[in-house]
Amino acid sequence: MKVLLDTNVVLDVLLIREPFAQMAMNLFDAAANKEIESILTDKVMLQFIKNLLFNRCSPKHKKFY
């Protein structure tokens, strides 16, 4: 089975956002155990990278994002 993971599912796992964190972690575990095939779109990855960069930049650099 193929499962498309959107940005919120990834963030649920990384930020341990309740009440969805456990369900999202179960999806990641199933993918790690090759029970499902997980798919991330390029947009999800770009949003994730942008959020990482945005949160790590100083306030004067945030205007570029």
pLDDT number for residue 35: 95
Residues near 50 by Cβ (< 8 Å), separated by ≥ 6? 65
Q: Nearest to residue 48, comparing CAs of 19, 11, 15?
A: 11
Domain limits for position 41: 2-64
pLDDT number for residue 42: 82
Q: pLDDT digits over 29-49, tens only?
A: 999 999 999 988 888 778 777
For the chain, the domain total comes to: 1
CA 34 to mean position of chain CA atoms: 19
Q: Model confidence at 56, in pLDDT bands (50, 70, 90)?
A: low
Judge contact between 10 and 47, C-beta under 8 A. Answer: no
Residues near 31 by Cβ (< 8 Å), separated by ≥ 6? 3, 37, 38
